[in-house]
Every structure is written in C-alpha cells, then in structure tokens.
Structure 1
C-alpha cells in the first residue's frame, strides 16, 4: 500500500533526491518548501511552495492539504534547513537565531503539528537531517552546529516520547554533501569524498521502511562518497 510521505525542503538538491526515491518506490509524495516553486517537477507529487515552517498556521494548512489529498501522513522527512560559516568574533549574532529557526524550529514545528496523523499511521516514521559537524564543531561552524545539535537532541527526546507508539524517530548525520553550491564554495576540495544526495536518500528510505521498525532514537553518520 502506498504511503503518504512529506519531504520538507523538497525543492532543494537533497530534498528532491529524497522525494524522488520515495516516489520511485511507489509512495505518494508531497514536497513542502520555503521557495515558491520547484526548479524540477516530480511526476505525481504534491508541491506546496512558499511555506514558512516556523509559521504554525501556514504549516498546519500545508499538512491539512497533504492529509486530504493523500489520505493521512505516514512519513515525515525534515530536510529543510540552512547553513552559514562565520566566526563568532567577525560574524553576526543574528546568525545564531537564524540557524536555530531554519534548522531546528522548522523541524519542531511541522513535527509537532504532524504528530496526531503520524500516530494514526500503522508505521509512522520521522527522519531528521542532523550533521556530522554538530558532533565536533570546527571554526566558523558554531551557529550551524549548535542548531543541528538541537536537531539531534530533538530526535532523541522525541524517540523516547513516542516509545509506546508505532512512530519511530531517527536522524542521519551527513558529512559534506556533494551539491553545486558546496562545490562553488569549496572549489579546491576533493569532491570524490563528499556524500552523494542519493546515498543519503537511500539511508532515509531504509529508516522509513518496515525493516527499520526496531530502530528509533538513532543518530546515523553518513560519511562515504556513495
């Protein structure tokens, strides 16, 4: 039976790969994004653009639309987020609030609002995108790593909160993802060691599968090129 899957940040490089993987498996996919429209269409997907996931009303409206069109919500993949590199001395304090909002508050907001429907699923799944950089933050990574560390703690706490239900909560922790933006920002790097979006999508697909029904509260590093 086809599941109802939501991918936030679904218009971006990683989100699009994740959404495509679920669609290929025969699931009903909805992509929700802050951007107004997707650059590339995904056949059969429900695309909802222009959504600020820190806005409860806007997020609830998007969830209601998905539930109405797809008959509920079974899987939520929280890809939406952002990145900044700046030192504390030379950077902006506003970046700390912005990273918190983009990476943690977005995930917390949509997850809380989706929980009633996820708990109605026979096998609800929540998969968050953490970061390897949040395990040990390097210079300039403070604001980003702090927000992603929050995603890790959200994952662990929510997994315990939902222990008596059919919903699992896990996170994948990628190293550097091979995207055009990252290549442009780090032109002298060894791209061959970077993680491919499809490799991350494969891990997420596993965590959302019945085979991973006993896995919850896990923070899974994804660090090989793939």
Structure 2
C-alpha cells in the first residue's frame, strides 16, 4: 500500500491528524488540506495546504493542481472536513440547514469533482467519505446535521454507481460519537466508554483504501464500538 498519494480534507483536526499519521506510517505521501491558516504540526513525507476554502471551486482546483504538480497524481481522497450543529427547528434558524449542507455536502462535492479525473487515472483510486451514524435516524436537534450527512451517504452511493466501470471505489464510514477533546468538552460527564477512537476510524479508512477492499464500493459502514484496541 506504500507510495500512494493521499489527500485528506480537514487534515488538521483531531480525526484528520490521526488518519494522516496512519497513511504516512504506511509509507504514503499525505496531503493535508484544511481551512485553517497554519498546521498544528508537520506531516512526515507529505505537504500541508492551508487556508483552502472547500466552498470555493477555484481555490479547490488550485489545491488539486498543486498536488498533481508535486506528486504526479492522486490515488486516495479522504473527505473528513465538515461541521456540526445542534439546533431545534423551532428555536433555530433555516440558515443552519444551509450551513450544514455547505459544510458537509458541498465541501465534499467540490474537491471530489476536482480530484476525480486524477483518481480515475490511478490504478486503484479510492474515495472515503465521513458520514454519520446519527443520520440513520435523527434525534431532536439533529435535523440539519443529520440531513446533511444523509446527503453525504446518498452522494457516496450515487458516485459509486457512476464509477462502477472505473478503477475508483467510493465508500463512507459512519461513526457514532468520536472520542475527541472537543466532544469531551461539549459533553462533560458523559460516559465515553463506547465512544469511537479516532485510530479505530483510521484503521477502517486504511482498509477501504487498500487493495483488499477493491470489491467494496457504495458501502456505508458503521463504526460504533468503543474498544481502544
């Protein structure tokens, strides 16, 4: 699996850093793409593209061009960038729905569309998206978020069907609550024993990006168990 060029959006976040490190440890060239102005650390053997607005198609196209100019192609795209909001319809705003769609669906569509020609040139192109277990049945206050993540699920399925005759597979992982510092801060006192570790999600993503997963496409894979190892 070594030697692939892997793009990871939201690469500076808690999950993005762990996934990036996992690919780098496997010998891959990792490109972390993030809206933040500077990376929190460095990635061995890879590059960071900071300040990239995934809602700006021209900015995304420029980022993809930089990757191709540097590494000659793209083999794997992992779409982690996104956002979350808890807000009831009665007490919230319709703008929240637009915001969630932009952050979770449009941001994924722009970079996937831009990277697609290069992924199709790869002998084994892979797209892995981050969906959400919470989108399978939305709880109170989760409407806008769940609807947008359901959009990620449908885009995953539709793109897999579009690419059925190519070398590219498209899948999504659907985590339950991820054990991150931000989630612990937002939910103090919660039982975190069954929260999913970022490394566990990274393991599934690496599998989906591997030759062993060559026959899996269009899958929505729940990742819900809290075991640390």
Normalised to the residue count of structure 2, the TM-score between the two structures is 0.97
Q: Which residue of structure 2 lines up, in the alignment, with residue 53 of structure 1?
A: 54
2:73 is the counterpart of 1:95: no
1:123 and 2:124 correspond:
yes
TM-score by length of 1: 0.99
SS of 2:32's equivalent in the other structure is strand
SS in structure 2 at match of 1:148: helix
Q: State the partner residue of 1:105.
A: 106
Give 1:44 shift.
2.1
2-side partners of 1:45 and 1:101: how far apart?
A: 28
Give the aligned partner of residue 174 of structure 1. Answer: 175
What's the CA shift string for 1:134-164, capped at 9, x where partnerless? 0000010000000000000000000000000
1:134 to 2:135 alignment: yes
| Residue number in structure 2 paired with 1:38 | 39
Distance apart, 1:181 and its partner CA: 0.7
Residue 219 of structure 1: aligned partner: 220
Q: After TM superposition, give the deviation of residue 225 of structure 1 in Å.
A: 1.0
RMSD: 0.7
For 1:114, the equivalent position in structure 2 comes to: 115
Helix, strand or coil at the partner of 1:191? coil
Superposed displacement of residue 52, structure 1? 0.6
Instruction: Provide the residue aligned with 2:198 in structure 1.
Output: 197
Match of 2:147 in 1: 146
Q: Which segments of 5 or more consecutive residues in structure 2 lack a partner in the other structure? A: none
Q: Relative to structure 2, which stretch is displaced further, 98-107 or 35-44?
A: 35-44
Distance in 1 (alpha carbons) for counterparts of 2:10 and 2:184: 20
User: Deviation per CA, 1:187-212, whole angstroms, max 9, x where unpaired?
Assistant: 12111110000000000000000000
> How far 1:71 moved relative to its partner?
1.5
1:40 to partner: Cα distance: 2.0
